[in-house]
Amino acid sequence: MQHSITIKSFNPYEARFPNRKVLSASEIDIIKQLRNAGIDVTVLPDDSRPIEYIFRKGNNILDFIYPFILTLWHEAPKEVVLNIINDWFRTRFFTSGQVDQSVKDAATQNLVIVENNHGTIINVNGDIVSPERIGEMISRAQSERDAFRRSLSSVSSYPDMPVPLHRDHRPDVVGWAKISMDNFGLHIDKSIITDPQTLSDIYAKKLKGFSVAGIASKSVCSVCGDDYVLCEHRTGVTYESIECFNTIMKATFVECSVVEEPTLSNCLLELLVNQQEHREG
């Protein structure tokens, strides 16, 4: 009998973008690693909806701030699954001679394995996790989803800047922007920061620009040309001299954040100039 695992999807933006079966980019990569090891993985709910994934630039901790619960069926060996996941961390986040501990700590808190045959729950270190802890994880994730519902539906006090700005892709609104899109991508035409701490961190160069979060509904693998979510290839891995990367062909814009590692660093100077204009106005 083939070993199998089920993983439940979680959409933090459900209120604004409902009925989407969503995973993080890291979860997609772990699933590929498990499948390449011969383990069957099913993403729940097991229906006809396609699997989509969240993309965002910045801290990799964000991929592990929501519960990632793997349930083992048919006596799938937990030791094998643990080894695969920990090998994945070593190859993905091995920097300066060690695994990025901040990412590993986040995963230790939120990535758990449930052995369905006798109900034991463990984390990526192999430590026992209580059912109460699982309940806390789920409750915290639901609270953050509710916070995104409120922030993404917020009404701006600046009619010419209707789009809320966040910090580090978390729910709190720290400013407002006017955003446009063309064939070259997304542009922040005008913006203002209303949160004093965020503004202070921008002037101190702790925050260096903008980053976009979205839900990718179609992406193509550079190795095989097929749907990246469904194929076996993994980004950053070279297959017969061809490095794998995925090109997002279709996506839904979710939110824009001020971050430390931006994709839109050229917008920061414009933000500060605009901020000064509002102060003088």
Which one is predicted more confidently, 92 or 70? 70
Let me know whether 146 and 213 are in one domain: no
Whether the per-residue pLDDT at 59 is higher than 60: the answer is no
The total domain count for the chain is 2
* Boundary residue ending a domain (118, 151, 184): 151
Which one is predicted more confidently, 248 or 280? 248
Let me know whether 19 and 145 are in one domain: yes
* Boundary residue ending a domain (135, 151, 167): 151
Nearest C-alpha neighbor of 163 from the set 212, 205, 231: 212
The answer to whether 211 and 169 are in contact (CB under 8 A) is yes
Let me know whether 173 and 60 are in one domain: no
The range of the structural domain enclosing residue 248 comes to: 154-280
Let me know whether 229 and 179 are in one domain: yes
Let me know whether 161 and 142 are in one domain: no
Token pair belonging to 119: 């109900």
The answer to whether 110 and 67 are in contact (CB under 8 A) is yes
pTM (predicted TM-score): 0.86
Confidence (pLDDT) at 117: 67
The answer to whether 271 and 193 are in contact (CB under 8 A) is yes
Confidence (pLDDT) at 1: 46
- Output the average pLDDT for the chain: 86
Confidence (pLDDT) at 269: 43
Helix axis angle, 267-280 to 196-203, nearest 10°: 120
Confidence (pLDDT) at 44: 94
Let me know whether 175 and 107 are in one domain: no
| CB count in 10 Å sphere of residue 21 | 19
Tell me the pairing of strands 163-167 and 173-182: antiparallel
Let me know whether 95 and 34 are in one domain: yes
- Residue located via tokens 């209580």: 130
Nearest C-alpha neighbor of 253 from the set 224, 222, 212, 196: 212
pLDDT over 70, % of the chain: 86
- Residue located via tokens 């394995």: 113
> Binning pLDDT at 50, 70 and 90, where does residue 111 land?
confident
Let me know whether 138 and 160 are in one domain: no
Confidence (pLDDT) at 63: 80
Whether the per-residue pLDDT at 266 is higher than 50: the answer is yes
Which one is predicted more confidently, 206 or 107? 206
Let me know whether 161 and 197 are in one domain: yes
* Boundary residue ending a domain (151, 171, 194): 151
Let me know whether 72 and 141 are in one domain: yes
Let me know whether 17 and 143 are in one domain: yes
Let me know whether 29 and 128 are in one domain: yes
